[in-house]
Structure 1
Amino acid sequence: MKKIFLLVLLCIFSLGFSQKKKKAKAVVEKETAIIYTETDAENSSEARVVAGFLKQNPNHPKTDHFKRKLLDIIMATPSPSESKPVMMASVGKDKVNNAKTDNFNKSLASNTASKSSTPTRTVNYASVGGTSKKSEPSEQGKKTAALLTHLFSNDISDKEAYVNVKNRSKCNMEVKISGKKNYSLSIPAKSENYVLIDKGDYQLSTKVCDSPYTALKKIDKDIEIALNVGE
């Protein structure tokens, strides 16, 4: 009788284990080059998307429109602790905005010049938003400024690459990027996040809705990786 009872328990345990094992789904990865369309730039409120479109389409007929949009996005997202510059109150917002627009257009033009020259990364887009000397830019502001500088640089010796990870799943994820330097990306469900990393060989690892994902990648250019679980 005991043997029969133990056999039944073993069968139930085995059945439960096999069902649990079946729940683990394969992770589906899609890696692509980062390409932004006019629709992306028009609908997005993210500086990186508009800047990416401008970099990829310098002669687009709506270039001036998207330059203004990019400037508006940058100026609309200052550091929370940032105070208004004194000259803003004394000179007037319109004059300051016009001056910033002129400076931004000059910076953008210098960084999207012909590739036959040898441009260097001298533009600091962190200054476009007009931060005061008494406060430091937020971490997000620094991140955005570094990305904009990278996007508009034509320097072939650039040692950084832009990695955008899209989380297509219904679960939050934490992506670890391990190599000569280590990086971490927190990505909510149905969202995305990016990081600038030193070019090189890396291991990417995370869990997509409890399904493990690990991949070895040689990252030597800007890429986008979309992750989801299979059906």
Structure 2
Amino acid sequence: MRKLFLILFLSIFCLGFSQKKKKGKAKVVAEKETVIIYTETEAETSNEPRIIAGFLKQNPGHARTDFFKKRLITIIMADNSPEAKPTIKPISKDKIENIVNNSELNKGKNLGTNVKTTSTPERNVTYASVGGASKKAEPSDKAKKTASMLTHLFNNDPSDKEAYINIKNRSNCRLIVKISGKKYYNLDVPAKGQNFVLIEKGDYVLTTMVCDAKYSSLKKITKDIEIQLDVAD
């Protein structure tokens, strides 16, 4: 009887210890931060305007500059097609070519924005009216984001107060990344995907849940960076 009691006691003790050990082993986030450098291969194979425009900025005298400019225009045109956005007519090809080729853009002056300065006249990206109506259609949020990103990438002014964070999500879970600092941003990043946001340079705290693992990190953002997140093995 005593032996049976002892065996039962040891079994319960071992089971409790095992469960406690499992609870104590919390998942952790694997993080990798890098300064973004665009390669020719990425610019040639990617369908993201951000990557092609970034490569053009980092390699201004490249032998295939004209090829990549044409590719960038083609992708932006496709992204603004009526099929993709049935409520908004596309920007004309001439306007997109002006954005990519205009020398003012390459000097870092604002294009496609509504910000007035004393030295640069206001220039707006104009969208055609929908269904023959006189009221102009508003650009989509994605179109605005792309225009802001291209303006930033082609801006060579060292006093530029903006930088962008690209989040690469290597996990199988969708992320909602909260970026808290001078301003507050929420970035939705799909599983096995990526997304970026343009922010004011400064100190920020990034927080999210990567599946069941909590992530929190203090970042001093002074340049464009990419952060890769996953659950550690």
Shorter chain as denominator, the TM-score bin is: 0.7 to 0.9
Secondary structure of 2:198's partner?
Answer: strand
CA 1:193 to 1:183, structure 2 compared with 1: closer, same or farther past 3 Å? Answer: same
Once residues 53 and 140 of structure 2 are traced to their aligned partners in structure 1, the CA distance between those partners, rounded to angstroms, is 20
Which structure dedicates a bigger proportion of its chain to helix? 1
Matched, 1:68 2:70: yes
For 2:148, the equivalent position in structure 1 comes to 146
Percent same amino acid among aligned pairs? 51
Of stretches 169-178 and 41-50 in structure 1, the one that deviates more from structure 2 is 169-178
Task: Provide Cα deviations, 1:134-166, integer angstroms capped at 9, x if missing partner.
Answer: 210100111111000000011222111111011
Matched, 1:132 2:128: yes
2:214 corresponds to which of 209, 212, 215: 212
Once residues 38 and 145 of structure 1 are traced to their aligned partners in structure 2, the CA distance between those partners, rounded to angstroms, is 22
Secondary structure of 1:137's partner?
Answer: coil
Compute the RMSD of aligned alpha carbons. Answer: 2.7
Matched, 1:194 2:190: no
1:15 corresponds to which of 18, 35, 43: 18
- Shift of residue 10 of structure 1? 6.3
CA 1:176 to 1:102, structure 2 compared with 1: closer, same or farther past 3 Å? Answer: closer
Q: Which ranges of structure 1 fall in alignment gaps of 5 or more residues? A: 86-95, 114-118
CA 1:19 to 1:186, structure 2 compared with 1: closer, same or farther past 3 Å? Answer: same
For 2:27, the equivalent position in structure 1 comes to 25
Output the TM-score relative to the length of structure 2: 0.79
Give the residue type in structure 1 aligned to 2:147.
A
- Shift of residue 104 of structure 1? 3.6
Once residues 192 and 27 of structure 2 are traced to their aligned partners in structure 1, the CA distance between those partners, rounded to angstroms, is 18
Secondary structure of 1:204's partner?
Answer: strand
- Shift of residue 7 of structure 1? 8.3
| Count of paired positions | 211
2:59 corresponds to which of 54, 57, 60: 57
Task: Provide Cα deviations, 1:62-120, integer angstroms capped at 9, x if missing partner.
Answer: 111110111111111224411368xxxxxxxxxx64x446524542x33334xxxxx5x
For 1:103, the equivalent position in structure 2 comes to 98
Show structure 1 runs of 4+ deviating over 4 A.
Answer: 3-11, 125-130
For 2:118, the equivalent position in structure 1 comes to none
Task: Provide Cα deviations, 1:177-210, integer angstroms capped at 9, x if missing partner.
Answer: 1112111111112111100011111001111121
Matched, 1:81 2:53: no
Once residues 125 and 37 of structure 1 are traced to their aligned partners in structure 2, the CA distance between those partners, rounded to angstroms, is 28
CA 1:102 to 1:165, structure 2 compared with 1: closer, same or farther past 3 Å? Answer: closer
Once residues 43 and 33 of structure 2 are traced to their aligned partners in structure 1, the CA distance between those partners, rounded to angstroms, is 21
